[in-house]
Structure 1
Amino acid sequence: MSVQWISHRGESIDAPENTLAAFRLAMTRDIDGMECDIHSTADNVLVCCHDETTTRTSGQEKSITKSTLAELRQLDFSAGKSAYRGERIPTLAEALAVLRPGKTFYIEIKGGNAALIEPLLTEIATAKVPLQDIVLICFDQEVCRQAKIRCPELRTLWLVSYSDEQPPQPEEVIATLCQCLADGIDLNGNRAFIDAAFVAAVKAAGFYFAVWTIDSAQRARELIAYGVDAITSNRAAALRDEIAGQPCTQGSAKQTAAES
């Protein structure tokens, strides 16, 4: 079966995460889609950044929500990658402009902030990006539910990790997806409880099955064999190319913590 490859925060293995450089690299490498995280600045501009502060990605501490875009633009987001020195925090509008026709953009609303749904929809409409090319992802079930109520055409995936110590039953996952109106699940793919039967049960109920964040070729092969629809990876292009033409095999190998 074919699987959709998604670049986690852009091609973040080579370019600084959540930057235009990383997003452009994903498109240049012809990845099926890319993923970003969004927050709103103090002056109500949606920007791409995973953390609530800029400390890890810029080396200087500023709160995204308490800083203006102009203040955030003063920071260097090259994250120690000298070839990208001077890279700035991108707005969502700028990131949307990088997306090529027919490619998919996974956009994560951070912090369970349902107030970002409306400005997100406005940005998508302004950019004239087809809704079919956008996937909203969020750990917060209520955000997923409100997004679907507000815009039924917007695809939403419920982000979740779970644990191997307390693995869920497929029926539990399906019930939650129904409750939050999501179109599918975006699950931590490094969990040992995931197998072909688990994936098949969720998909048989009509739900999409995506996984994150997979950097191991062996684990990717296993998940493809199980029937997942999409794999998010920090090295999506390299992983895609590494396993291209190789048979997908099921096994018990687990990705190490360093790879997750």
Structure 2
Amino acid sequence: MTLSRATGAITRATGAIISHRGGSFLWPENTLVAFRNSLALPVEQAECDIHLTADGVPVVIHDALAERTTDGRGPIAAMTAAEVARLRIRGAAEVGVPTLAEVAAHFAGRRMFFRVEIKADAAGTPYPDVVARVLAVLDGAGARDRSIIIAFHAPTVAAAWAAGGLAGAAWLLEPGTLRDLGPAGAAAVAVAHGLPAAETRIDGADEAYVAAMRAAGLGCGAWGANHAATIDRALALGLDAFATDDPALAIARRAMFRAGMTW
């Protein structure tokens, strides 16, 4: 994927690699260490996840609760930004939870696109004013035009995309949601929200999904392409982009695919 200077939107080129959570098979997920290392790789995008603290600061962490990835316990939404800053990443005691501002600063003016997944709280409820807060941080870093907003909550993504100035946006579809709606139905929901793209987990992506998104004029991608078989599947489907926890493996598999090598 490349950025169109005329429109500020991403133009399609199949097989763009997204370093998921900064490449969580290789480095501690959603940390500055991961994003700095991802920026050194020949991938097109790096992805992070954000939650809001009790004082409204977007911080980069996947789960609504602290315990899986840090030495803390309880909801991120119940902690202040200062309290989150004191958390240490499990298995990497010298590494903490960064703010979105700290991560976004690395992407301003860079070739790589910065993908931000806006999460909901522990009850699955969207955070109040989260879109405005995220966009304000991206603007402060000078990174809005290099950023892509994604979320499972379609109105959240739609609000971000409607605000303008982003490189892209995508609605995330769980495979179960995709099955319930059907590919054409899912595409219709994305179109109704004014969105440019939708994405699903790689095990839910197939030719019918790609065809429905293409027919609706939407970009399409997937996440969870973490091993050779699923990376190869993403490439064979001709997805615009796919997220992987092993960007180094994805780089190697894509090179083989593009060279026409058999596996």
Which of 58, 82, 90 aligns to 2:98? It is 90
Do the aligned partners of 1:188 and 1:212 also contact (CA within 8 Å) in 2? yes
Alignment partner of 1:20 is 2:32: yes
Quote the Cα distance in structure 2 between the aligned partners of 1:166 and 1:173.
9
> What's the offset of the Cα at 1:179?
1.6
The aligned residue for residue 109 of structure 1 is 118
Which of 243, 246, 252 aligns to 2:257? It is 246
Which of 161, 172, 175 aligns to 2:185? It is 172
Distance 1:88 1:106, change over 3 A: same
The aligned residue for residue 256 of structure 1 is none
**What is the TM-score normalised by the length of structure 1?**
0.85
Distance 1:220 1:68, change over 3 A: same
Quote the Cα distance in structure 1 between the aligned partners of 2:231 and 2:69.
27
For structure 1, the 5+ residue unaligned runs are 250-260
Quote the Cα distance in structure 1 between the aligned partners of 2:14 and 2:118.
27
Do the aligned partners of 2:105 and 2:141 also contact (CA within 8 Å) in 1? yes
The aligned residue for residue 140 of structure 2 is 126
Which of 49, 59, 69 aligns to 1:47? It is 59
Quote the Cα distance in structure 2 between the aligned partners of 1:66 and 1:163.
30
Cα RMSD for the two superposed structures? 2.3
The aligned residue for residue 164 of structure 2 is 151
The aligned residue for residue 7 of structure 2 is none
> What's the offset of the Cα at 1:164?
9.6
Alignment partner of 1:3 is 2:15: yes
Which of 174, 187, 191 aligns to 2:200? It is 187
The aligned residue for residue 5 of structure 2 is none
> What's the offset of the Cα at 1:63?
2.2
Do the aligned partners of 2:61 and 2:97 also contact (CA within 8 Å) in 1? yes
1:203 maps to a residue whose letter is R
Distance 1:153 1:165, change over 3 A: closer
How much identity, in percent, do the aligned residues show? 29
Do the aligned partners of 2:227 and 2:246 also contact (CA within 8 Å) in 1? no
Do the aligned partners of 2:225 and 2:234 also contact (CA within 8 Å) in 1? no
> What's the offset of the Cα at 1:122?
0.9
Q: Deviations over 1:70-117 (max 9, x none)?
A: 21222211x22xxx4310110101101122612111111111335210
Quote the Cα distance in structure 1 between the aligned partners of 2:217 and 2:178.
27
SS of residue in 2 equivalent to 1:98: coil
Quote the Cα distance in structure 2 between the aligned partners of 1:44 and 1:207.
33
> What's the offset of the Cα at 1:237?
2.1
For structure 2, the 5+ residue unaligned runs are 1-12, 121-125
The aligned residue for residue 68 of structure 1 is 80
**What is the TM-score normalised by the length of structure 2?**
0.84
